[in-house]
Structure 1
Amino acid sequence: MRKSQASYTKLLAALLLSFSIFFTHSAVFAAAPASSASSTVQEDGVEQYKQFLKEKFGIRLTGTVTKGEFIEAVADILGYVPSGEKVTFTDVKEDQALFSSAAALYENGILSGPAIQGDQVLTNTVAVSIAVRAADLKELAYTYPSAKVNKVLSQLKIKSSALGTKGAQEVAAAVDTGLLPDEFHKNFKPKSAASDQLIHTLLGKVLITKGLYKKYIGYVNDADIYAKLSSAYETSDIIDAPKLQTLVNTALKQDLITGYSIKDSRFEPNFIESLALVYGHSDFKHAIQLIGLLRSEGLNAKVQFEPKTSAFIHLAEWGDPGPNVVQIENGNFIAYAKEYDLEFEFATVQDKAAFQDVILTYAKKNVVDQAGLISGSWWQPLYYSSTELKDYELITNNFITDPDSSYTVNPFSLNEDSAKVVAGLKAIDPDAVITPIQFWVDKPFFRYLHGEAL
């Protein structure tokens, strides 16, 4: 249904201060036209793993890498720290830099000791063995009988006797599970120094198996992306987070904010920030057409669907507030609306920048009954980036979290109003966990925050 500007303004009240396994994770892609929808699996590769590890953890291993450096990298990406229990190694003392990482991996069953041999050059076999254990695959590996091991290792043209019993089982399991991808099979030499390509790939694959890499439902160009979007939307619902809503509903009643959104951090895609954009809306038909629009414009991207519930004050004089409302003391209502965020990770920063031109041309309403737009286009579309973009404006998400749940509340504000919003929320609940985060939003929505119509 096409919204009038008046009804749209009511709905946008919710946004005035609001913001809201295995190895098939997807790879680098070139933008392709819509006519060539992909039916093949798109997977991230070594370059994407390198970029992810560098931006998220500051890790970039080059040249000749030691076993100790790999141990430190594994501990970093998994967030492992030692418990403080007594751990003793024959060649690493407690005051050495490597000790903390080695102890943490030892306590998690990844290293066995008593010697760490951190100064030795990291070999292919050692890298794979550590990765298998870090990826929680060692029990699977140790089920492999010798016949199964030998059959798998024949693909690498190596014999199990060159690896030892457990080493052979671990390499075989790495091949079968995809931890050791096909491109490394041909030249896999057990005792050769591990290349930076293999090292970064293993780290990326470990993150995937542990659920710590990117999370998304597919690509814009996937043949089944519409079915995946439909399933995600149909299985989402109004989010109920009583503890957080008590705080922000009180803020609504006090006119401290005019709206907010609730999200579930379990749907956070963990994309590379420099390549990611978030687009918010309420109309599912709009989402379907937006994906088609991006395909038609040659913009491919990873896609994550994030359920979102927006809340805003519905004045009594506006008439029937519809379902999903709670009446408050002054006779008005707090209305809850099922919405969503689509988060995209593009292949390049150039593709990310090109997104705005597509939206402003085909999904931004400028006049009533404007033709040539996709269904449900808003007067002030909402999309934003956590990294700076040309022709975007900086605002603040007064981000509220609950240590006891995965839910978050996202009240947006102009930067100059953030301190007042935070102080007001703290006055309601001194224990509230509020973290103001600045980010870049499209200019139409920024103008809306200033009370401008377009």
Structure 2
Amino acid sequence: MKLKLIRTAIIIALFPLASHAAEMTTEKAVDALNLNELALTYSQEKIVKATGISDAKQADALLIDMGVITAKDLDQKRSLSSKLSAFVIDQNDQSERYIGNVSDTNLVERVVKTWNDSRVIEDNKTLHLLNSFIDNGYTTGYNVIDTQDDSNFNPDLMIRYGHNNIQHAVQLLYLMKSESFNPKVQLTPKSSAFLYLPEWGEPNYPVMTLESGKMVSVVKEYNLDFEFQTAERKKSFMDLINQYAKKDSAEEKGLIFESWWQPFYRSYTEMADYKVLTENRVVMGDYQADLMSLPEKAEKQEEQVRSMADSYDVVPTKVWVNPSFYRYMLGEFK
């Protein structure tokens, strides 16, 4: 809702006299982007070189050179207007944070550096509160992010993908590039805590024992936020994961590194073939803890968390998750 209000404000600010039917032209787009002076540097020769059209405009050529449109778009007024409007709004929306696009040559370098520079949460007061939720049986785990790293992507076009191995992220990004996906990307480091069961044997990562005797492990993981260029590309993400990043048999080949039986990705808008869960968010200053719950258990969990975190905001948020993760929430292995 917050992001939609920001985008609405941008539209009103940029086009105060425009109606919903108003046409966005290349000249209006160049003006809204404050690129008029740059457009005026385009000679007739440069215009023809960019557009292949003798009577094209300076604004046409500039936006083609920027990669916003193609020469073929100039003949399609309705789709041209839609494409230009989307680009202008996106460029003037400064609320987003992201590392780059999948097509960027050095995107992986930036992603790995962000991961290497991050660490698990070290705020003892916050950890004590969150671990008390596990200690009291309100949840079996939580994720914590610093909201200053949040992407603020358009929820209509965003998928949030979670994992714990950075080489998996590297291979996923290169896979997406090879399959012609080119979304915006933000890597948000997160601390993930989960109840560790004694029957699992000796842990190979840090485990702390709570007052009740329950054991909890807090490990470093990440969210990869993707903002796709179209709703259709967002929809096709599930097919990509099912084919290349979801394990269906122990010896399965042709999957990227460390593929899970039950990958975890979610949308904050309704998606066909996805399942509904509730994400109870506990907002503590710049920290946000996410507790996933089945819808029928979410209200009780919210009340329990509020009883122990009455000085913080608890925000129940509806999410749509991939079917295999939903099965995980039901206690299934695959």
| Residue of structure 2 equivalent to 1:56 | 7
Q: Name the structure 2 match of 1:439.
A: 319
Shift of 1:61: 4.9
Q: 1:217 aligns with which of 90, 99, 102?
A: 99
Q: 1:364 to 1:336 in 2, by over 3 A?
A: same
Bigger strand share = 2
Superposed CA offset, 1:214-271 (max 9, x none): 2111111111111111111111111233343222211101122100010111111111
Note closer, same or farther for the CA distance 1:424–1:221 as it changes in structure 2 (3 Å cut).
Answer: same
Deviation at 1:363, TM superposition (A): 0.8
Residues 1:56 and 1:206: Cα distance change in structure 2 (over 3 Å): closer
Question: Residue 418 of structure 1 corresponds to which residue in structure 2?
Answer: 298
The equivalences for 1:381-396 within 5 A come to 381-396=263-278
* Residue equivalent to 1:449: 329
Q: Give the whole-Å Cα distance in 2 for the aligned partners of 1:225 and 1:305.
A: 11
Higher mean Cα deviation, 426-435 or 411-420? 426-435
Task: Choose which of 163, 169, 172 in structure 2 pairs with 1:281.
Answer: 163
Deviates more, 1:300-309 or 1:311-320: 311-320
Change (3 A) 1:153 1:389: closer
Equivalent residues in 2 for 1:124-135, closer than 5 Å: none
Kindly report the root-mean-square deviation, in angstroms, between the aligned alpha carbons of the 2 structures.
3.4
Higher mean alpha-carbon deviation, 442-451 vs 312-321, is at 312-321
Structure 2 stretches of 5 or more lacking a match?
A: 19-27, 42-61, 64-81
TM superposition shift of 1:315 = 2.8
Deviation at 1:331, TM superposition (A): 3.9
CA–CA distance in 2 between the matches of 1:414 and 1:216? 30
1:210-289 → structure 2 map (5 Å cutoff): 212=95, 214-289=96-171
Structure 1: distance between partners of 2:178 and 2:90 = 31
Q: Quick check: 322-331 or 253-262, which moved more?
A: 322-331
Q: Whole-Å Cα distance in 2 between the matches of residues 330 and 240 of structure 1?
A: 22
Q: TM-score, normalised by structure 2?
A: 0.75
What is the CA–CA distance in structure 2 between the aligned matches of 1:64 and 1:338, rounded to whole Å? 44
Matched, 1:334 2:225: no
Cα distance in structure 1, aligned partners of 2:182 and 2:273: 22
* Equivalent position amino acid for 1:441 in 2: V
Give the superposition deviation at 1:58: 5.8
Unaligned runs of 5+ in 1: 1-51, 70-123, 133-151, 158-181, 184-195
CA deviations 1:344-384 (Å, max 9, x no partner) are 01111110001000101111111112212111011110011
Secondary structure, aligned partner of 1:290: helix
Matches within 5 A, 1:309-388: 309-388=191-270
Kept in 2, the 8 Å contact 1:216–1:302? The answer is yes
Instruction: Give the SS at the match of 2:156.
Output: helix
Aligned residues: 285
CA distance in 2, matches of 1:443, 1:336: 26
Does structure 2 retain, via aligned residues, the 8 Å contact 1:387–1:439? yes
Answer whether contact 1:215 1:304 (CA < 8 A) is retained.
yes
- 1:409 and 1:349 mapped to 2: Cα distance? 28
TM-score (norm 1): 0.56
Mapped to 1, the partners of 2:224 and 2:257 lie a distance apart of 16
